[in-house]
Amino acid sequence: MKSIDRASSVSIAQIRAFVSVADQLHFGAAADALGVSQPALSSAVASLETHLGVQLVERTTRRVLLTPEGEALLPDARAVVDSVGHLVDAAAGQLALSGPLRLGIIPTVAPYLLPTVLRTMRRRLPDLAPEVREEQTDRLIDDLVSGRLDVAMLALPAGNASLTEIPLYEEDFVLLVPPGHRNAGATGLPPRALRGQDLLLLDEGHCLRDQALDLCRSARALGSVSSATRASSLSTVVQLVAAGLGTTIVPETALAAETRRGGLGVARFTAPTPGRRIGLAFRTTSARAPAYLAIAGVVRASVGRLPVRVVGDVST
């Protein structure tokens, strides 16, 4: 009976307040995220702790920490919030094809696909209002899981069991070389040709860096990766190549934009060509899965003229 009494005393507002504090680790930011006052949020968390009989949050003058009990109960709290959202959305019959769409995207996709994708979305889904956030993969996954993002375009597999992945397209990697380089214009280049190339890669945290390192590892060319020179954007790496500091690996969709100034050589790999798969990821518990499937179809339709291999049904 006591557990029933406790359950009847707990409200979704209290649970949502706890989840927001866990996401932000700051009472002011958590209150802003929920659109409530900080005293109201603090009271909700305190009431939840009282009803549950455990301390969820450790409050100090400088920071907020979750207690071990808070960490243990957080997954269940998230599940409750997701379930209530599912109930509300299902009752309303919403497919999320209108209103805000919090879309995350990795930096090595954003500048090359967004113009095409957003134009197609505006034409085919005029009531949708995308809110774009460019972040590295780990941050995108964290934001998806925590509910700060609705969907994200990233390299697959994302490697998180709580996310559903929808493949969109595959693309090849090419080697960019300085003017006059021995491999400029080469086709059928074997991966072992990367040995001794003095490869320039993106900084830590970019999935393209990890994919390039995997390619170098398979070609036993890790010793060719430059440890002295790295950059946070692909455009900067390409400019370093143009200046003669080394070579780099880029996805096919970036080639036109990054080589439009001329002066760079391109080398293409032999089959099976190394590359990557890009897809759309969202929380498996989301009630808006049908909408995200429809959005995936719109993205596939928009990239059909780009140098990629579309994966899946464009009509979905």
Predicted local distance difference test score (pLDDT) of residue 315: 53
Domains of the chain: 2-92 (1.10.10.10), 95-316 (3.40.190.290)
pLDDT, tens digit only, all 316 positions of the chain:
455 455 667 888 999 999 999 988 888 888 888 888 999 999 999 999 998 999 999 987 778 899 999 999 999 998 888 888 766 665 554 555 788 899 999 999 999 999 999 999 999 999 899 999 999 999 999 999 988 999 999 999 998 999 999 999 999 999 999 988 899 989 999 998 888 888 898 888 788 888 988 888 888 888 777 777 778 899 999 999 998 888 999 999 999 999 887 779 999 999 999 999 999 999 998 878 888 998 999 999 999 889 999 987 655 4
Q: How would you label 74-113 residue by residue, b for 16+ Cβ within 10 Å and e otherwise?
A: beebbebbbeebeeebeeeeebbbeeebbbbbbbbbbbbb
C-alpha span between 141 and 145 (Å, rounded): 6
> What pLDDT, on a 0 to 100 scale, did the predictor assign at position 14?
92
* 3-state SS assignment for residue 262: coil
The Cα 90–Cα 313 span in angstroms is 25
pLDDT of residue 4: 47
Residue 270 pLDDT? 92
